[in-house]
Amino acid sequence: MEPSPAVHGIHHVTAIAGHPQENLDFYAGVLGLRLVKRSVNQDDPGTYHLFYADAAGTPGTDVTFFPWMRMAPSRPGAGLVGEIALAVPSEHLGWWSERLRELGVETLDEESRFGEPALPFRDPHGLPLALVGIEGEREFAAWEGSQVPPERQIRGVHAVRIRVRASGPTERLLADQLGFSLAAEDRGWRRWAAGEGSGAFADLFEEPGAHVGRWGTGAVHHVAWRVHDDAEELLVRAAVEAAGLSPTPVIDRFWFRSVYFKEPGGTLFELATDGPGFDRDEDPESLGETLVLPPWLEPHRREIEAVLPPLEVPAAT
């Protein structure tokens, strides 16, 4: 019997930033994430691709950025991930609220979502974020070099929030081709789960009159869903193609392999393998300390380095 296609939660979320040093100061400094990979956009090598995660770069803990400094601000709307929710231990959400306030980050009022406390705010380039308090633990490696104590550190991506004009086609894709199930409903939001617990959620809101969103600084570029290996990726890709969508061929990103497609509501999805992993070309103790390039870009290192601004990782305190 053939296995059913399914993804296993969020692999990473990639967004568009402004100045890379401002991005680094916020995610490694204010939020205390580890810069686990300092590379370039493989389709635009004159631009950084910065990867932030837990100490080990565990799939599901990863938020990445293309710092396109000359891009106009985004226009929120349908067809984009409208917010990245990050998981923290619920007993430390108050500490996070105080930390953000002390560091000059404006937050909105704490709210409840699906029975979980959430603290919404924005990063320096306008990207909507939220810290969500979770109970229990999840796959996570604490980073001793963080400005945030290990017990309070962000555990990874909790959920993505997506607005669509018509939810039916997107929900059928989630259920039939990607293996999600409807987990909960809350004030118009419908939570679809690709597994158990934090890191598995796509939260959908149907808004028929919404205008179409536009990429720009402060927008999510795509959300990547986890597949364990190449065989599973091909299985899910075939299901997506059979549903009438247009997935790309498998693309080797060196640290994982990717397939991209737009879901029916317009949001760019990716399928990403768990391996080979970020330690393929760097010692785990020195992840993110220097610019690393996939082998096919290594011959162009001199030209690439010449156009990238220098970066300084915030010191641990």
pLDDT at 317: 63
> What local confidence, expressed as pLDDT, does residue 303 receive?
98
| Within a domain: 181 | yes
How far is the C-alpha of 224 from the C-alpha of 160, rounded, in Å? 11
9 CB-near residues (< 8 Å, 6+ apart): 60, 194, 195, 199, 200, 225, 226
* 201-206/257-262 β-pairing: unpaired
Exposed, middle or buried by CB within 10 Å (0-12, 13-18, 19+), for 69? middle
Cβ atoms within 10 Å, residue 29: 18
Establish if 254 belongs to a structural domain: yes
Q: How many domains does the chain have?
A: 1
Q: How far apart (Å, rounded) are the C-alpha atoms in residues 77 and 201? A: 20
User: Is 309 inside a domain boundary?
Assistant: no
Q: What is the pLDDT along the chain (317 residues), one digit of tens a residue?
A: 567 889 999 999 999 999 999 999 999 999 999 999 999 999 999 999 999 999 999 999 999 999 999 999 999 999 999 999 999 999 999 999 999 999 999 999 999 999 999 999 999 999 999 999 999 989 999 999 999 999 999 999 999 999 999 999 999 999 999 999 999 999 999 999 999 999 999 999 999 999 999 999 999 999 999 999 999 999 999 999 999 999 999 999 999 999 999 999 999 999 999 999 999 999 999 999 999 999 999 999 999 999 999 999 998 76
Backbone angle region of 145, left / alpha / beta, with phi > 0 → left and psi within -120 to 50 → alpha:
alpha
Q: Write the burial class of residue 74 (CB in 10 Å: 0-12 exposed, 13-18 middle, 19+ buried).
A: buried
Answer whether residue 5 is part of any domain: no
Q: Are 64 and 52 in contact (CB under 8 A)?
A: yes
Compute φ and ψ for 222, nearest 5 degrees.
-160, 160
Whichever domain contains 215, its CATH number is: 3.10.180.10
For the chain, give me the number of helices (H) and strands (E)?
5, 16
Instruction: Tell whether 317 is covered by a domain.
Output: no
The predicted pLDDT at position 1 comes to: 58
Q: Which of 213, 218, 204, 205 minimizes the C-alpha distance to 76?
A: 213
| 252 in any annotated domain | yes
Q: Domain containing 45: what range? A: 10-297
Question: Within a domain: residue 126?
Answer: yes
Q: Residue 176 falls within a domain, yes or no?
A: yes
Dihedrals phi, psi of 194, to nearest 5 degrees: -105, 45
Query: What is the spatial distance between Cα 35 and Cα 62, in angstroms, rounded to a whole number?
Result: 10
Task: Decide: pTM greater than 0.95.
Answer: yes
Task: State the virtual CA torsion across 48, 66, 74, 114 in degrees, nearest 10.
Answer: -150
User: 300 φ, ψ to 5°?
Assistant: -105, 15
Helices (H), 197-247: 230-242
